[in-house]
Amino acid sequence: MKTNIKKAFLDINEEEKWLNEQGERGMMLLSYSNGTYEFEDVSPATFQYKIDIPPYSQREKRRDYLDFLEQTGASVVAEYADRVYLRKKASDEPFVLYTDRQDVERQAKRRSSHFYAIGFPQIMFGIMFLTRAILGHESPVAFWIQAMSGSLFVVSGIVFLVLGLRAGRKATDGQVPSREERDIWEA
C-alpha cells in the first residue's frame, strides 16, 4: 500500500533520522518532492536511508558519482534541491557513505550551510535597521519600530547560526575521530 506523507524538516540530520525510522518499520521510500514523501509498505523488509549532498554540481560528474553509489548497493530514490535521497536494504553493517574524516566534516558543513545562508543576512539586516534607528532623525515611533525590527533580525540570525553550528557538530558525532585519535593517526 502506498502512502504519501507531507512533512518539512529544517535539519537534514533529523530528516535522515526520520527516514530511517520509517525504513525500520518496513516503509520503502519511492519518491520525494517538495516536502511530500511517497512510501510503500514492504514489511518485513527494512531499509536504511542516507541523504547526500554530492560535491559535484556538473551534471556529468554528478551522474558518475551517483552511478558509483548505485554500484555499491545503494539506490538513488530521488534528487531534490541539491540533495540525493539514497536507499539500501538493511543489513548488519550501517549504511555509511563517508569514512574519511575530511569527507565527513565536509558533508556536515554542506548539511548546515543553509543555516548560515539565512543567519548572516538576517544579522546584516538587523544591524542595518539598528544603525538607521540610531542615526536616523525620525519620530520616536519610527525609532522604536526600526530598533525592535533590527533587534529581532539580529536575534533570529544568531539563532540560525547557533542551529548551524549544532547541526554540524551533531552530523559529525561518532563519525569523526576524537582529537586524541587524530593525533595518533596524523603524527
Q: Where are the domains of the chain?
A: 2-89, 101-182
**13-56: per-residue pLDDT in tens?**
788 899 999 998 889 999 998 889 999 998 888 889 988 888 77
Neighbours of 185 (CB within 10 A): 8
Q: What is the DSSP letter of 10?
A: S
Mean pLDDT within 165-171: 72
Mean per-residue pLDDT over the chain, rounded:
82
In the prediction, which pLDDT does 185 show? 45
In the prediction, which pLDDT does 187 show? 46
In the prediction, which pLDDT does 167 show? 74
**137-162: per-residue pLDDT in tens?**
778 888 888 899 999 999 999 998 88
Contact between residue 111 and residue 54 where contact means Cβ atoms under 8 Å apart: no
In the prediction, which pLDDT does 89 show? 86
Amino acid at 126: G
Instruction: Output the pTM of the full model.
Output: 0.65
Helix residue spans in the chain (DSSP H)? 12-24, 59-71, 101-135, 140-172, 179-186
Mean pLDDT within 54-65: 81
The 3-state DSSP class for residue 47 equals strand
Please state, for a pLDDT cut of 90, what percent of the chain lies above it. 24
Residue with grid cell 520525494, as numbered in its chain: 32
